[in-house]
Chain A
Amino acid sequence: MAIRVDTADFDISAEIKSLTQGRTDIGAIVTFTGTVRGKAGDSPITSMTLEHYPGMTEAELAKVEAEALARWPLSASLIVHRIGELHPGDNIVLVITASAHRHAAFEAAEFLMDYLKSRAPFWKKEARPDGTSDWVDARESDSAALNRWQNNAGKPSR
């Protein structure tokens, strides 16, 4: 179980390797990678800058991870979230979940992302080609995604 907030990029296969090295209890590994889109709606963006709340970010990610561990039999997990200035195509976030069987790994990865998106204190600012920039608005669909996990230990309603 690990969390990391980093300006540097991540290497998915290296992260999987270090997470699972020497383990023979793992039968399923799921990874989710979030990347920077080149457009906000129909408008092109040139960069995306991620700000966060040092201290609270790590605390919230640790809570989210502990919650996932309480719901699913995970063998290992990792959350990496980048901060600073990123560009279209760059990696933003990585979630890896490992378990003996696939269902727990799939569901826990989705749960981690839904919780992270609505609770971890990160904020995105998008810059446009004309030099202007705007903070990204939170999406209603993200809190809806979170709600489906309420009162449904390990079993989202779809």
Chain B
Amino acid sequence: MTNTNATATTTGNTVTLRYFAWVREKIGHAEETIAIPAGVVTVAELIEWLKTRNQVYAAAFDKPDVIRTALDQTHARAETKIGSAREIAFFPPVTGG
């Protein structure tokens, strides 16, 4: 289900970022806490901002179309607004079953 609950302003919101599978391996850690920077509203904008942090993030998010996102443990899309989410996860397309 896509998270559409996103009316609150996100700037300055403190969130936990979590990484799984090869995204975690590329980033080098499983989670971290950040403050959502000014101007970042959607998942896609957060990914673009993360890419500007350093080479490691730039490489991990090099192909955003193969990265999936969850807001508060619910599947989200690139255009989904971060809103008041507390936990944002990035991972490859799932391969269970």
For chain B, the bracket of interface size reads 10 to 19
> B97 is contacted by which of A51, A113, A125 (Cβ under 8 Å)?
A113
Q: Which of B6-14, B41-49, B85-93 contacts A (4 or more CB under 8 A)?
A: B85-93
Asked if A123 and B97 sit within 8 Å, CB to CB, the answer is no
Least Cβ–Cβ distance between B57 and chain A, in angstroms: 19
Asked if A59 and B96 sit within 8 Å, CB to CB, the answer is no
A55→B20 CA distance, assembly (Å): 13
Asked if B1 and A123 sit within 8 Å, CB to CB, the answer is no
Asked whether any CB of chain B lies closer than 8 Å to the CB of A16, the reply is: no
Asked if B89 and A56 sit within 8 Å, CB to CB, the answer is yes
> A137 is contacted by which of B1, B20, B74, B95 (Cβ under 8 Å)?
B95
Asked whether any CB of chain A lies closer than 8 Å to the CB of B33, the reply is: no
Closest to A92 in B: B97
Q: Which of A7-15, A17-25, A96-104, A114-122 contacts B (4 or more CB under 8 A)?
A: A114-122
A59→B93 CA distance, assembly (Å): 17
Asked if A56 and B70 sit within 8 Å, CB to CB, the answer is yes
Least Cβ–Cβ distance between A4 and chain B, in angstroms: 14
Least Cβ–Cβ distance between B4 and chain A, in angstroms: 16
Asked if B92 and A135 sit within 8 Å, CB to CB, the answer is yes
Known: A53-B73, A56-B89. A117 touches B22 (CB 8 A): no
How many residues on A have C-beta within 8 angstroms of the other chain's C-beta atoms?
29
A114→B61 CA distance, assembly (Å): 28
Asked if A117 and B73 sit within 8 Å, CB to CB, the answer is no
Least Cβ–Cβ distance between B27 and chain A, in angstroms: 14
Q: Which residues of A in the span 20-36 have a Cβ within 8 Å of any Cβ on B?
A: 34
Asked whether any CB of chain B lies closer than 8 Å to the CB of A108, the reply is: no
Asked if B89 and A53 sit within 8 Å, CB to CB, the answer is yes
> B95 is contacted by which of A81, A113, A138 (Cβ under 8 Å)?
A138
A119→B18 CA distance, assembly (Å): 17
> A121 is contacted by which of B1, B22, B94 (Cβ under 8 Å)?
B94
Asked whether any CB of chain A lies closer than 8 Å to the CB of B35, the reply is: no
Closest to B1 in A: A63
Asked whether any CB of chain A lies closer than 8 Å to the CB of B50, the reply is: no
Asked if A116 and B96 sit within 8 Å, CB to CB, the answer is yes
Which residues of A line the B interface, CB within 8 A? 34, 50-53, 55-56, 59-60, 63, 81, 92-93, 113, 116-125, 135-138, 142
Closest 4 CB pairs of A and B: A122-B96, A138-B93, A56-B73, A123-B21
